[in-house]
Structure 1
């Protein structure tokens, strides 16, 4: 049961966040709450001791501190900051967190360039009838939840919880 939770909860929440951000430019708070709550419940059963769980919480606090500053400077949206923080707790304070953040940065750069290109081609897209979410063309924001999800998918296999799940399957 714990292995199923590890394999399903994190990817499912990221998928939901990515699609809602793409279509509505918002990320539901419940996604971040579920990610944090599920980690707290699953981590001890996955074999993480209190010290390791503490390092995961510390990773989330560190990411939150940086995201809060970016939010205060109006560089990052609140939903993106919460999702990044809630995702960071699943990686912990180790190299998998760095990999996650690097992947998010790479995918975020690609996403930003793609969205800016689409917005520049708005008239052509609308005239041709290509189905593109309207907010993607008109909003002044980038749906960074998509980049966070893609970064999470890319880095998740190296996360401590996935490593624990692989170990239990072996």
Structure 2
């Protein structure tokens, strides 16, 4: 049961956040709450000790502090900040968090370029009938939840919880 939770919860929540952000330009708070709550339940069951769990909480706290500052100066949306924080607790304070953040940055840059390109081609897209969410073309912001999800998918296999799940399977 623990292994199934580790394999399913983070990827499912990331996919849900990405689709929500794509179509509504919002990330529901309940996704971040589910990620935080599920980690608190799953981590001890996966064999993480209190010291390791503390490092995961420290990672989330650090990411939250940086994201809060970016939100305060209107560089980052609140949903993105909460989702990044909730994901950081799953990666912990080690190389997998750095990998996650690097992947998010790379995918975020590519996403921004793609969205800006689509917005420049809005008339052609609308004329050709290509199904593109209207908010993607008209909103002033970038649905960064997509980049966060892609970064999470890329980095999650090397995360401490996945390593613990694979160790339990062996």
Q: How many residues align?
A: 170
Corresponding residue SS for 2:142: coil
User: CA shift at 1:93, angstroms?
Assistant: 0.2
How far apart in 2 are the matches of 1:97 and 1:41?
Answer: 20
How far apart in 1 are the matches of 2:56 and 2:87?
Answer: 10
Moved over 3 A (4+): none
Deviations 1:87-127 (CA, angstroms, capped at 9, x unpaired) = 00000000000000000000000000000000000000000
1:77 aligns with 2:80: no
User: CA shift at 1:70, angstroms?
Assistant: 0.4
Any stretches of 5+ residues in structure 1 without a counterpart?
A: none
TM-score, length-scaled by structure 2: 1.00
Alignment of structure 1 residues 32-71 onto 2, 5 Å: 32-71=32-71
Query: What do you get for the CA RMSD once the two structures are aligned?
Result: 0.3
Corresponding residue SS for 2:140: coil
Map of 1:103 onto structure 2 = 103
Map of 1:2 onto structure 2 = 2
Map of 2:158 onto structure 1 = 158
TM-score, length-scaled by structure 1: 1.00
How far apart in 1 are the matches of 2:60 and 2:149?
Answer: 16
Any stretches of 5+ residues in structure 2 without a counterpart?
A: none
Corresponding residue SS for 1:111: helix
Deviations 1:58-107 (CA, angstroms, capped at 9, x unpaired) = 00000000000000110000000000000000000000000000000000
